Every structure is written in C-alpha cells, then in structure tokens.
Amino acid sequence: MNPVVDGKGAAGLILELAWTSGEAAHCERLRAPVDLWGDILPPRLLAELAGQEQSAVIEQTLTPAESVPEPSTGLVRTAPWNAFAGGEIQPRAGRFYPRRLLSGVPGVAPGSLEPFRCLRGENEGFALDLNHPLAGHELTLTVTVEQPSLDEQELTGRSIDWISRLCTGPGMQARAEGQPTDFWGGDALLRDDEAPDIDFYEKPRLVGHLDSQASAHIAALYGELLQPGNRVLDLMAAYQSHLPAGLELGGVTGLGLNLDEMAANPALDGRVIHDLNAEPRLPFDDDSFDAVVCTASVEYLNQPREVFADLARVLAPGGVLAVTFSNRFFPPKAVRVWKELHDFEKMGLVLDYFLETGRFGDLATLSARGWPRPADDRHHGEYPASDPVYGVWGRRE
C-alpha cells in the first residue's frame, strides 16, 4: 500500500461528521479529493494523515477554531418586518433564508447567500439568528483514507476548505430552540399539478430516478437497518427497491401506483396499487411489517402526517421506517414546501413527520455528498457529482 504523501500530493478521503440535536443523531459524509498541498484541512489532521495507508481511519473532535465559531448571543437579533425583502414570502419560525433578503441588519453583507434562521415572530418584527447552524454542537470528525494518492495535477490550485464545505448545510435539519419548525403555513402541501396521481403514473417509467452511486448509498443504509427475515414494505414503490443484494428478507411488498413498474421489480414478492394521496390509510393490518422503506418519493405526499401516523400502525414494535431522497424529483407533483427548502431543511421536514406521530424513537439522519457521477449515468459529463443522498429513519416505539 502507498502511504499518503507527507504534506504534498493528493489523497481521496471520506470525511464523516457526527453530531446530535435535541431530535436525532446526525451523520454527514463527504467525499473529498484533497490537494494536500493547496487545500485547507486542520493542521493536526494533516499531521496525523502523514504516512497513513489506504483504509486508515482517524477520529478527532473538532474545535470551534477548526470548524464553526461558538454561538454568540450578539448574533441573535430582532428586525422589523420590513427588513425582510422576501416579497410575498413571510419568514416563518425555525426556517432558513438567505441573508441577501435582509436589509438594514448590522453585520449582514449585501447579496450574501449565507443562511439566517427566523426564530419567531414578535410584535414589531421577528427574531433572527445569524449563528452558524452547527454552532454549539459537539462535532466529531472521522476521516477514512479511501485512496492514499490521486493525480495531483487534477487538483492543484483549488484551495478548498474541506471542513467548511463539510459543515455547509448540516445543522439546518435541527429545530430551533427545541421548538417545532413552521413548515405548514399557507399552501405548503398543495402541488402545481393537482390532477389525480393515478392518471399521472398511468404510463410506466422504467428508468432509474437516481444514479447508481446514489442507489448504492441507499442500499448500504438499508442494509444497516434491515435484518434477515424482516417483512418489508416498499412504500410508493416503482421498478427499483434499492435493497441490498444478498439479504434474505421475509418478503417484500410494494405499494405503488403503476403495476407494470412494480412487476418489473424483481425484489417484490407482492404488489398493491394504492393512492396514498387519495387515501392515507394503508390497506394492511396492524403490525404487518418489520420495516418500511420509502425511496425518492416522500416529497409527493400531500397528507404526510396522516401517512406517517398510519405507518406506525402497520409497523411492528421496534420496526424501522427509513426515508431517503435526493435533489431530483418531479416538480409538478412535489408539495410546494418541498421546493422552498434547502436540502438539509428537507431532512428537518421529514423528521417532523416522524416526531408528530409521537410513536418513533432512535431518530437519525444521514447525508452523503461529493462522490463522482458514475460513467454509465445519462448525466455523466453534465454534472460531475453523483446525486446527493439524504436519509431519515426511526424505530416504532
């Protein structure tokens, strides 16, 4: 095995950030092709990387100086309503918005895309938080050496701060001050196309909605959560179930809207046509399943709270519900709040679906970003990075 070049050259690293909020445990993964000469990593991490071989693992607790600044009460402000230039958009409690929408707020640079959080509305305006979304959380970094050397000619001169990139987005899925986020105002659960879903999905679409690298991340997650012999429900199923190969399950039932798509799915032992947006109650008995997976579909539910409550009913005690998604979806059929949110906020929305039932524990989230797009993907050469993957799961109590 070739050691990592000592202070020069390039290495392929997997950066993993672990942290907890009041709602869940969180894990953020980022693949980092690091130019060890020109990019930015904490000095003590660089020192420990020197001489490491492939598959080596390093764990460190990040200090605020190495990651995000400590929270400051001075960055929690109150602003009048007219300081928010969002047009018809009104800032809602717990939600994030780009700072460029603020005017007259000290310390906010014009045009800044950094997020701020609306904490709550007040009589004369709203309270906002300019702290980093991860400020105040203990951050544990695990680094795995995926490739001890890369072609440094491809990487020289980018000067990427990899810890900053890893920490951009995470934190936005946590609640503010432990209070539920206001996702529900106005027409949050309406869709641009309200025609019956059974009509929209009448024609089969036998195409992958995610690239093969993203699908592999999802299969790996499901492989960690499922057990041999589990009775599994693939919710809103299509022609791929993204289940790990070789895991002997106790049967997989698909619930979806197109029989041809589900018939082409070799993972399914049973197939049920059912429109959850017309009838959120599932056509199954109590405790029918040990696990439910829902892949790249949760954004289409227009009665998500009712569906999640009923999922708790059909799951056996201790059963796992795992929801995964990416940044690709059919905009006309996605609920409007989904299209308004940052990808990491979407994990917070799905977490709220779990939390509102009051019947799930051991909640967790996962993000996986930065892997190269597979050469066999139809968007290879158009988008360099694989589809990001976001997951939220919990166990029925």
pLDDT digits (tens, 9 = 90+) for 70-126: 999 999 999 999 999 988 788 999 999 999 999 999 889 989 999 999 999 988 899
Q: How far is CA 322 from CA 103, 122, 226, 350, in A?
A: 41, 37, 10, 10
Residues in the chain: 397
At residue 64, the pLDDT reads 97
Which domain covers residue 264, as residue numbers? Answer: 197-396
- Residue 238 to residue 30: CA distance in whole angstroms: 28
* Contact (Cβ atoms closer than 8 angstroms) between residue 384 and residue 214: no
At residue 4, the pLDDT reads 60
At residue 6, the pLDDT reads 57
Query: Quick one: 152 and 42 in the same domain?
Result: yes
- Residue 380 to residue 354: CA distance in whole angstroms: 35
pLDDT digits (tens, 9 = 90+) for 168-190: 999 999 999 899 999 998 799 99
Query: Quick one: 390 and 283 in the same domain?
Result: yes
Strand-strand pairing, 115-121 and 125-129? antiparallel
Query: Quick one: 375 and 357 in the same domain?
Result: yes
At residue 3, the pLDDT reads 60
Query: Quick one: 152 and 285 in the same domain?
Result: no
Report if residue 180 sits inside a domain.
no
Report if residue 178 sits inside a domain.
no
Greatest CA separation found in the chain?
64
Torsion region of 29: left, alpha or beta (phi above 0 gives left; psi -120 to 50 gives alpha):
beta
Instruction: Report the CATH number that the domain containing residue 381 is assigned in CATH.
Output: 3.40.50.150
At residue 36, the pLDDT reads 87
Identify the helix (H) or strand (E) that includes residue 139.
strand 139-147
In 3-state terms, the chain is what percent helix, strand and coil (to 5)? 20, 30, 50
Those residues whose C-beta lies under 8 Å from the C-beta of residue 109, and which sit 6 or more positions away, are 99
Report if residue 286 sits inside a domain.
yes
Report if residue 181 sits inside a domain.
no
The total domain count for the chain is: 3
Report if residue 192 sits inside a domain.
no
Query: Quick one: 90 and 225 in the same domain?
Result: no
DSSP assigned state of 397: -
pTM of the model: 0.96
Query: Quick one: 155 and 300 in the same domain?
Result: no
Rg (CA), the chain: 22
Q: How many CA atoms lie within 13 A of 305 on its CB side?
A: 10
Query: Quick one: 278 and 319 in the same domain?
Result: yes
Query: Quick one: 253 and 380 in the same domain?
Result: yes
**DSSP H helical segments within the chain, as ranges?**
43-49, 162-166, 197-200, 212-225, 259-263, 304-314, 336-340, 343-357
Instruction: Report the CATH number that the domain containing residue 14 is assigned in CATH.
Output: 3.10.50
pLDDT along the chain (397 residues), means of 10: 63 96 98 92 94 94 97 96 87 96 92 95 92 98 93 75 98 96 92 92 76 96 98 96 95 97 96 97 98 98 98 98 96 96 98 98 98 85 88 98
Query: Quick one: 273 and 150 in the same domain?
Result: no
Query: Quick one: 232 and 125 in the same domain?
Result: no
pLDDT digits (tens, 9 = 90+) for 365-374: 999 999 999 8
At residue 1, the pLDDT reads 47
Report if residue 182 sits inside a domain.
no
Q: How many CB atoms lie within 10 A of CB 60?
A: 15
Tokens encoding 116: 């701020």
Query: Quick one: 240 and 382 in the same domain?
Result: yes
Report if residue 176 sits inside a domain.
no
Query: Quick one: 102 and 148 in the same domain?
Result: no
SS3 313: helix
**DSSP H helical segments within 121-171, as ranges?**
162-166
Report if residue 362 sits inside a domain.
yes
**DSSP H helical segments within 90-196, as ranges?**
162-166
Torsion region of 352: left, alpha or beta (phi above 0 gives left; psi -120 to 50 gives alpha):
alpha
